[in-house]
Structure 1
Amino acid sequence: MSKKLKIVSIASEVAPFSKTGGLADVARSLPKALKRLGHDVIVITPMYGKIIDKKKNDLKLIFSDVKVYLNSTETVQVNFWKGYLMEGLPIYFIENKKYFSQRKSIYGSTHENARFLIFDVSALKLISLLKYEADIVHCHDWQTGLIPFYLKTDFRYSKTLSKAKTIFTIHNLVFQFGRNWWEVPQDKKDFGRKRLPHISDPDVEYLNFVKRAILSADIINTVSEQYREEIMTKNFGQDLHRILKNREGRLFGIVNGIDYKAYNPQNDPALISNFTHKKVHRKKLNKEYLQKKFGLPINRDIPLICATSRVAYQKGTELIIKIFEHLSSINAQFIIMGDGDKGYLSKLKKIKQNYPKKLALLSFSDNHKDETLLYAGSDFFLLPSHHEPCGLNQMIAMRYGAVPIVRKVGGLHDTVKNYNAEKNTGTGFVFEKFNEIFLYEAIMRALELRKNSKAFRDMVVRIMQESNSWEIPAKKYLALFKKAMRG
């Protein structure tokens, strides 16, 4: 049997305790998959006091009023709490009243860099207090980006973590620190090598966490193989393509998985009618319920297309709005669930007023419990992203038999294969250019398939049998961890 690894997973959000997006799902599911493979895993995340219910989640205070040195003169005081993600898999929460516990939201502070600098140093302090001699410290996204830098440059952590190797996972390169990287003046840019400023220094807000992680981590990875290739180019590299290209030999891509227990149409309590790939006809009852609940004409035969994502340029909302200008020519109903850009939302509301029998709009925050029901009742799932590091929704949609219509980019490229009518193969409808004409043509191809009941049923059965669980990605991460340990 291979060596049992000791792994620390650190993330700014972990479902079900805190969540704004797919990062929280990964930060929950990957440690669980690694634990099931026989490894020793702990998880560390902030304590968002207004969001996380300590009593409900049975959290226990294990270290209180701990003084954490940010540098030789500055300190903060934190508490450490402990709970469990699953049996034998502890999750630790870092509590600081000023920076985390009194906030009503996970992000959005004017001092994001200061908050997560404190989180990163406190996470290392916790590992030291636990005497947890980790083999791997796995850091997720920009909020944890200073940890690899600290472990390379600060002797304080050399005792407990002397053998630890760092893995830094880029979930979305657009987000590099607490403000938009493209708005930073040239003379304020962080080149990633200098000593860190004091927390009281205004320049702390210009620290580029991701750049420092890329330069310091033993291994860097992205959440799909295609995204790995893309971020080494000027178009997708968000001004970091050169240093990523320089570290190409230590940069890898692993497609995320989804939690098959959490997303299972056979026993999902949110569904009106549960089903499997052997009984896909039961999807229609979910469809009728959706149509009734959200004010669309009840009709089993009309194609229903859903979109569940942030309403944002990145997610292709602009293209969706443009094709809706031709909604009268599209024989389908649409349900859009999402929050985000107010300008886009305003345009969508106007379109809905013109086509009340064709379009339903749902706020994700008000209707998130209906997300899997939406997949279960829809014929197609729409995600025409401008860029998409991985994307989980298309995989969840396939699990529930909603055929994806996506752009050939990032993780969508890796997880959805274009339909071939002659061979009756493929797992969705894929278009290449970020253009509404190409999206419109992809939708038309999908609706054409829908007219052929046997071919469409074959597609639904096929996508429901796709293997997108965490088992394979977890094994790939283990291989990456072992590569880091070999040097």
Structure 2
Amino acid sequence: MNNLQNKAKKFTICHVTSQITPFSKTGGMADVVNALSRKQSQFKYNVMIFSPYYGFIKKKEFERETIAKNLKVKIGEKKYTFAIKKVKLFDNANVYFVCNDKMFGSHKIYGTGFDGLRFYFFELAILQFLRHKNIVPQIIHCHDWHAGLIPNFIKKSKFFKKTATIFTIHNLIFQGPKNWWEIPSEKKDSGRNTLTTDREKIEYLNFTKRGILYSDIINTVSERHAKEILTAKYGQGLEKILKKRKEDVYGIINGIDYKVHNPKIDKYIYRKYDWDTLRHKKINKIELQKELKLKESEDVPLIGFSNRLSEQKGIVLLQKVMNTLLKLDLQFVIIGDRCGTKEYINFFKKIAKKYHDKLAVYLKSRFPENMESKMFAASDMFLMPSRFEPCGISQMKSLRYGSIPIVHKTGGLSDTIENFDPRTRHGNGFVFDSYNEQEFLCAIIRALENYKYPNSWEYLTWRSMKLSFSWELPAKKYLQLYKIAIKKNNNKQF
């Protein structure tokens, strides 16, 4: 047994998340929590993942066990009953679903109109279950605003006095059930006052602010973004309180799980391949062109985009350059869910009709991971022009599939992608510095020009596929962060 496994004995990590692959997903956080949990379980830690039991999860086929029922939490004068269902995810790692049909029976993860109450209840229910089972975890790892109240709830709890908390910011723009910039000043949550139990006022709470104020340690998902959020440009109105706690703010870049995101074993793609069988990538291109009714050609550059159609993801830039690009000899595949901004969804649907042999737009009610895999396997280039990007994992996935990223220099994109220089053959993508359509278009043109030189492009693809962004190092860094959090918590115990 190695040193990590020795230390792992009787050490319990609780992850609290609104989404977890393969059960629920709207973005990369679901993949991150799954992959981090897998790696921690391999280190022999006891990993508990808490997530809501949404209506659509009920229909999925997997073994589940009800391990607690008729538990209650009180919010104001009202009591809410819940159950806990347990599902094995990996050895040493289980998902614990919080079940209450009124809160989570909907097929929506977000956007119900009472998300504040739902996640307030969710967090209280987790703590009540842990008390019920007499489980005192060493760490509660809170992911984004949906878990942001837990550090506040347990701040003066004798039961949880030996539990340290980490608050991970995956996306700072989302701070609670309402857009923080739209809340009237008189209703803004200071984060310092006693937590309200009034149902209406709960919807105005800033869960993220409270996570930052009361957690032992704060981290975001790349080193660059940990510095960015201390500034007014990226701090989303919370830069002042983050600056006050800057000694407790860390950055750990996400990894990707190569047991899932790997063209050598991916069950969704048309033909499996690796860096030593790159010729099979062209088979994937032809098959995707057939499926999406694009003109069949091995040689035409195929560019992919897979994300929410939202302003943050750079869709404004893509919208502005689309007509220019579609006059060139290339093809586009755009993949996403229907949760994006309607203006952008309608724009791309409309332009896809005009350029039906060059542009395919594939949008589903839930994010189509199977089609994303096919797109990575078929495409030559992958766009991530995000206005800001705390980490981003899609660019790391695209590298593994040999789809070369074209990215804006921000956050985790800056930490993972470096401009390719054909003279030195150094770099793994194409980067633009300033967030505007001219620089974005220039980066795409640079990539297209490099694509014209097959030997150089094949080397870039081969080299990019061999890069490693596994979870091994990030998972160890999180364990170091847990130690810091525990030490900090021990120093403040009452």
Report the TM-score range of the alignment, normalised by the length of the smaller protein. Answer: over 0.9
Instruction: Give yes or no for the alignment of 1:432 onto 2:404.
Output: no
Aligned equivalents of 2:51 and 2:88: distance in 1? 12
Aligned equivalents of 1:29 and 1:275: distance in 2? 23
TM-score (norm 2): 0.94
Q: Name 1:286's counterpart in structure 2.
A: 284
TM-score (norm 1): 0.95
Aligned equivalents of 1:349 and 1:96: distance in 2? 37
| Aligned residue runs from structure 1 range 175-254, under 5 A | 175-200=174-199, 202-254=200-252
CA contact 2:44–2:92 (8 Å) conserved in 1 = no
| Aligned residue runs from structure 1 range 310-321, under 5 A | 310-321=308-319
Letter of the structure 1 residue corresponding to residue 61 of structure 2 = K
Shift of 1:74: 4.2
Aligned equivalents of 1:165 and 1:353: distance in 2? 54
Shift of 1:242: 0.6
Q: Secondary structure at the match of 1:149?
A: helix
Instruction: Give yes or no for the alignment of 1:138 onto 2:107.
Output: no
Letter of the structure 2 residue corresponding to residue 47 of structure 1 = Y
Pairing partner for 2:73 from 42, 65, 68: 68
Instruction: Give yes or no for the alignment of 1:111 onto 2:114.
Output: yes
| CA deviations over 1:106-159 (Å, ceiling 9, x no partner) | 111111111111111111111112222211110001011000011113x3xx22
Aligned equivalents of 1:355 and 1:90: distance in 2? 47
Letter of the structure 2 residue corresponding to residue 96 of structure 1 = N
Q: Secondary structure at the match of 1:52?
A: helix
| CA deviations over 1:157-187 (Å, ceiling 9, x no partner) | x22x221110000010010000111111111
Q: Name 2:404's counterpart in structure 1.
A: 403
Letter of the structure 1 residue corresponding to residue 434 of structure 2 = K
Aligned equivalents of 2:450 and 2:60: distance in 1? 51
Aligned equivalents of 2:90 and 2:453: distance in 1? 45
Q: Secondary structure at the match of 1:123?
A: helix
Pairing partner for 2:81 from 61, 77, 80: 77
Identity across aligned pairs (percent)? Answer: 42
In structure 2, the CA distance between the partners of 1:54 and 1:318, relative to structure 1 (3 Å rule), is: closer
CA contact 2:223–2:415 (8 Å) conserved in 1 = yes
Q: Secondary structure at the match of 2:311?
A: coil
| Aligned residue runs from structure 1 range 37-436, under 5 A | 37-48=43-54, 50-53=55-58, 56-70=61-75, 73-100=77-104, 102-153=105-156, 155=157, 158-159=158-159, 161-200=160-199, 202-339=200-337, 340-365=340-365, 367-436=368-437
Shift of 1:295: 1.7
Aligned equivalents of 2:197 and 2:136: distance in 1? 28
| CA deviations over 1:40-97 (Å, ceiling 9, x no partner) | 211111111x2112782211111111122346x5432111111111133121111112
Shift of 1:309: 0.7
Letter of the structure 2 residue corresponding to residue 362 of structure 1 = Y
Q: Secondary structure at the match of 1:84?
A: strand
Aligned equivalents of 1:61 and 1:150: distance in 2? 26
Letter of the structure 2 residue corresponding to residue 481 of structure 1 = Y
Aligned equivalents of 2:80 and 2:70: distance in 1? 9
Q: Name 2:492's counterpart in structure 1.
A: none
Shift of 1:356: 2.4
CA contact 1:275–1:282 (8 Å) conserved in 2 = yes
Q: Name 2:477's counterpart in structure 1.
A: 476
Aligned equivalents of 2:191 and 2:168: distance in 1? 17
CA contact 1:449–1:455 (8 Å) conserved in 2 = yes
- The aligned length equals 479
Aligned equivalents of 1:327 and 1:32: distance in 2? 41
Provide structure 1 residue ranges, at least 5 long, that are not aligned to the other structure: none
Aligned equivalents of 1:318 and 1:32: distance in 2? 36
Aligned equivalents of 2:355 and 2:82: distance in 1? 53
Aligned equivalents of 2:20 and 2:379: distance in 1? 28
| CA deviations over 1:324-366 (Å, ceiling 9, x no partner) | 1213543311111123121112222332233222211111447
| CA deviations over 1:242-266 (Å, ceiling 9, x no partner) | 1011110000111111111111111
Instruction: Give yes or no for the alignment of 1:26 onto 2:27.
Output: no
Shift of 1:441: 0.5
Aligned equivalents of 2:401 and 2:326: distance in 1? 28
CA contact 1:114–1:199 (8 Å) conserved in 2 = no
Shift of 1:197: 1.3
Shift of 1:24: 1.1
Aligned equivalents of 1:199 and 1:91: distance in 2? 30
Q: Secondary structure at the match of 1:478?
A: helix
Shift of 1:296: 1.5
In structure 2, the CA distance between the partners of 1:40 and 1:328, relative to structure 1 (3 Å rule), is: closer
CA contact 2:407–2:413 (8 Å) conserved in 1 = yes
Q: Secondary structure at the match of 2:276?
A: coil
